[in-house]
Structure 1
Amino acid sequence: MTTELRVLGKDDWNVWYANLLRAFGGMRAPAEERDLDESLLDHGRALGAWDGGQCVGTAGAFDFRVTVPGGAAVPAAGVTMVGVAATHRRRGVLTSMMRRQLADVRSWGEPLAVLVASEPAIYGRFGYGVATHRLGVEVDTTRVRLSVPPGTDDVRLRYADPAEVLDACEAVYARRVPERPGMLVRRPGWEQVELLDTDRHRAGGSPLQCVVAERDGDEGLVGYARFRVKPDWGPGGAAGVVRLSALEAVDPAAHAALWRFLLDIDLTSSVVAYRRPVDEPWLHMVSDVRRCGLRVQDDLHVRLVEVGAALGARTYQAPVDLVLEVEDAFCPWNEGRWRLVGDARGASCERTERAADLALSVRELASAYLGGVSLASLGAAGRVRELRPGALAEASVGFCSSTAAPWLPHSF
C-alpha cells in the first residue's frame, strides 16, 4: 500500500468530504447538512488516506457518551464518515484506517467504539459486533386501532414549531437516555440534527412537523413526536403517509396519546417509521399486529476498545464471577483472560491467571455488551465456548438488560 494516513487538517476538509460523498454514490449534500457535519466532527478525530495529493479514504470519530446497562453514560467513539475510493479498494486502506483509529480511540481513553454500518458484513473482522436492532413499521391505519391505557385522555396535544420547542423536547429526551442502553447523550450541537429539513429529508413529504404532549400543571412537556406527511390519493380516496422521525414520552399515557394521534391524522392511511425500539409498548395496544408491517434490522455495532474498562463500566442483572478468555487479534492488548465480577450495583474486570470459564472473541463480547443479544444464543451458534459447566447460563442472565431493549435513537 502506497497511501499515507494523516489526521485531517482544516484546509483538507473540502477534498476529504468530497471523497466521502463520492464513496457513497456521488450525490451532493445540502449546504446545511454539510456545514453541520463539519461543525460536529472534530478534525483531530478524523483520518484521511492520501495517495499523493489525492484523498482516497476517510474515517471520523465523534465524541459520544452511550448508555450501558445500569444507566451509566460511557465514553465512546462514534465511528462515522468511513469511505474508500473505488479506485483503491482491496489495497488495505480500510484496514489501515481501522487499525489506526482504534489505537487513537484507546489513547483518548474511550473504552468503546460504535458505528452504524452501511453494509453489515464489513466491520466484523475489526471486532465490531451487532449490539442493537431497530424496528421498522408500516402501520395500516385504516385497519389498526389502539387500546390505550388509563390517563391517555388527560394528555393534551398541540402542534408546535419544531425549533421553538426544541429545548423542551431535548429535556424529555435527556430524561429517557439513562433508561435504555444504547441511547446517546446529546452533545452540544447534536440537537440541530433533529431539525434538518432539506429536500432529501422530506423526500416528497411536508416540512417537518412537531406535536407535543402536555398535562395541566407545572410538569412541562411529557412527550413529543416529529414527523412529515406525504399526501397521496388512490382509487379509494386519500392514501397519505405519515413518516415518523422521532417520538419520545416519559410515561405510558403520553406515549399512547402520541401514537393514537399519528394513527388518526386525516387524509392518511399509514404510519411509517424506520428506527423504533424492538420492544415498543404500542405493539401491545394494536388491534392487529400483522397489519403493522414489522421488520427488524441490525443497527448499532459495538467494539470493546478496552475490555476491562468496558465490562467494568456496566452493571449485571444477576451476580457474575467469570473468567473470560478473549480473542482479539486486531487489538492484541485485549487478548487473554479477564476476571469479571459484578452485580446490579457495579462491576470490576481485571486480568487474571485463573482458568477460563468461557472463551469467545471480542466480537461476540461486543454483541452481548448492551444486553440485547444473548450469550446463550451466541453459544448455541458455536460462537461462545463453555469451559465450565453452567458458566454460559450464568453469563447470559447477567449480561441481559433488566430494563429495556437496547436501542439507538438516531443514526450518525
Structure 2
Amino acid sequence: MTATTIEVRPVGAEELPIWAALNHRGFLSTTRPSEARLKHYQRQSAEYRFWLAYSGSTPCGAYRSWDLELPVPGAAAVPTRAIGSLSVLATHRRRGVASSFVRGALSGARERGAALSLLIPSESGIYGRFGFGAATETTHLAVDTRRITLPPAEGLELELTDDAAVRAVAPALYREVAAGMPGALPRTDLWWDDVCGLHADEDDDDDRPAVIARDQSGAVVGTASYRIKGDWSLDHQADIELQDLTAANPAAYSALWRFLADLDLTDRVLAEDRPVHEPLAWMLPDRRAITESHRTDFQWVRVLDVVAALSARAAQGPGRVVVEVADADGYANGRWLVDADEDGRTQVTATEVEAEVTLPVQTLGSLYLGQNSLVRLHGAGRADEHRAGAVRRLDRMLAWAPEAAVGHTWF
C-alpha cells in the first residue's frame, strides 16, 4: 500500500456533518447523527475547535479541543488544553492519525500558554505514551434507601422544582463548590442549557424533577437533579437516577440525600460518575447501604510547564525536594527544586543539584491534582528515590484532600 500523508485541519461549518458521522462511527454508535445532535455540535463550535484528519480526500479521524481554567489544589485555576472525542477509523489505524492529533494539540497548548492538558480516555492504555497520567477516579454508586437514616434538614428549606429552575441558580453554586474539588471541570452556559433541556430540539414532555436547598437567608446551598427509572408495582419499587448533586456544606449535602431517600415508591438511588471520596457512607449508621458498582480512572493530566503548574497549586505542607522529571517530548523534562512554605506557597526553579526523586512525566500528571499517593506510585515502580525519606516528603507536599463532592462532568 502506498503511504499517504495525513493532513489535520480545522473543521469548517460545511464539514461538521462529516465530523459528526465519523465521530459516531468511531465510538460505535448504532445511529447516524440526528438533526438535534448536529445542532448541538453547531452550538459547541462557538466554544470548541473541531478537527478532522484526511488521508488524501478521505476523512479518517476526528477530535475536538478547547481551553479552560482547571481548579487545582488551593482553590487556584490553571490554564489547560482539553482534548475530547478523539476517534480514528478502523481502516486507518497505526498510520499516525491519533499521534498527529495529540501532538498537535499539545504543541498548540504550549503556544497558547497552557500549563496542562487534560482528557478522559475511552481506553486507558492509549495516552500514557503522550505523557498523560491517570489523575482522578470515578465511581458508580447504588444506594439502598431503605437502609438510610439521616437527620432532618434543620435551618434549610427544600424546594421541589425542575431543571429549568435549577438552571437559574446552579451555575453560581457549582462555581463556588467546584473550587474545592481539584479537577472539577468548568460548566459553561452551553453545558447547563444542554443538560437542563432548554434548547428547542429537546423533548418538552420529559419530566426533569429537581430540588433546591436554601438556607435561612434564602441563599442557594444545594441542588440535585434526578430521574425515575423503571415503573413501580405493588411488589416492586422504582429506582432513582441521580443526574447531579452539588452542595455547599455538609448540612445541605445531608438534606439532599435525605430528600432522595424519602421519595415514595422508590427504594434505590443509582448515582453514576461520583467522586471516590463521596462522604455519604461515613454519614450512615449502616454504611453497607452503599455499594460501588463500578470504579475506574477518569481524568488524565499531562503537565506541559512544570514551573507554572506546580507554582500555581498549593502544597499540603512545607518542604523542599529536588525532583527530576523525564519527558521524552521535552515539555516537562528537567531537574526542579520544589520549595513550599508553611502556607503552602510553592516556588519551582530549575536546578543542577542532585535529584532526590526521579519520575516520568506520567507520574507527575497522576500526582498533580493531589488525589493519588506518591508512596503508592513509588511502590508500583513509577518513581525512584535517591535520598531516604524524599518520596514521603514530596508525597506530603503534593497530597490534597478534596473539600467538595460534586459529580464528575463528561466533556
Q: 2:150 aligned with 1:147, yes or no?
A: yes
- AA at the equivalent of 2:319: V
Picking from 1, 5, 8, the partner of 1:5 is 8
In the other structure, the counterpart of 1:346 is 345
Q: Under a length normalisation based on structure 1, what TM-score does the superposition of the two structures give?
A: 0.91
Listed one character per residue, the Cα deviations across residues 74-105 of structure 1 (whole Å, up to 9, x for unaligned) are: 11112111100111112221112111111111
Does structure 1 retain, via aligned residues, the 8 Å contact 2:314–2:344?
A: yes
Q: How does 1:108-257 map to 2 (within 5 A)?
A: 108-142=112-146, 144-148=147-151, 152-196=153-197, 207-217=207-217, 219-233=218-232, 237-257=235-255
In the other structure, the counterpart of 2:24 is 21
Q: Secondary structure at the match of 2:75?
A: coil
Listed one character per residue, the Cα deviations across residues 307-362 of structure 1 (whole Å, up to 9, x for unaligned) are: 22111111101113222111111x22322212222244422222221111111100
Q: 2:261 aligned with 1:258, yes or no?
A: no
Q: Percent identity?
A: 35
Q: Distance in 2 between matches of 1:382 and 1:25?
A: 35
Does structure 2 retain, via aligned residues, the 8 Å contact 1:317–1:397?
A: yes
Q: Distance in 1 between matches of 2:198 and 2:149?
A: 30
Q: 2:374 aligned with 1:371, yes or no?
A: no
Q: 1:44 to 1:283 in 2, by over 3 A?
A: closer
Q: 2:63 aligned with 1:59, yes or no?
A: yes
Q: 2:67 aligned with 1:69, yes or no?
A: no
Does structure 1 retain, via aligned residues, the 8 Å contact 2:304–2:331?
A: no
In the other structure, the counterpart of 2:395 is 396
Does structure 2 retain, via aligned residues, the 8 Å contact 1:337–1:352?
A: yes
Q: Under a length normalisation based on structure 2, what TM-score does the superposition of the two structures give?
A: 0.91
Q: Distance in 2 between matches of 1:62 and 1:213?
A: 33
Following superposition, the deviation at residue 33 of structure 1 comes to: 4.2
In the other structure, the counterpart of 1:288 is 286
Q: 1:370 to 1:10 in 2, by over 3 A?
A: same
Q: Secondary structure at the match of 2:179?
A: helix
RMSD: 2.4
Q: Distance in 2 between matches of 1:94 and 1:404?
A: 36
Following superposition, the deviation at residue 13 of structure 1 comes to: 1.6
In the other structure, the counterpart of 2:386 is 387
Following superposition, the deviation at residue 29 of structure 1 comes to: 4.1
- AA at the equivalent of 2:28: G
Q: How does 1:76-115 map to 2 (within 5 A)?
A: 76-115=80-119
Following superposition, the deviation at residue 403 of structure 1 comes to: 4.5
Does structure 2 retain, via aligned residues, the 8 Å contact 1:368–1:375?
A: yes
Following superposition, the deviation at residue 197 of structure 1 comes to: 8.6
Following superposition, the deviation at residue 43 of structure 1 comes to: 7.9
- AA at the equivalent of 1:301: W
Does structure 2 retain, via aligned residues, the 8 Å contact 1:372–1:406?
A: no
- AA at the equivalent of 1:247: L
Number of equivalent positions: 402
Following superposition, the deviation at residue 42 of structure 1 comes to: 5.1
- AA at the equivalent of 2:270: V
Q: Distance in 2 between matches of 1:45 and 1:354?
A: 42
Picking from 27, 47, 62, the partner of 2:51 is 47
Does structure 1 retain, via aligned residues, the 8 Å contact 2:65–2:82?
A: yes
In the other structure, the counterpart of 2:306 is 307
Structure 2: where are the runs of 5+ without partners? none
Larger mean Cα displacement after TM superposition, 79-88 or 171-180:
171-180
Q: Distance in 2 between matches of 1:17 and 1:270?
A: 36
Does structure 2 retain, via aligned residues, the 8 Å contact 1:197–1:208?
A: no
Q: Distance in 2 between matches of 1:239 and 1:311?
A: 50
Structure 1: where are the runs of 5+ without partners? none
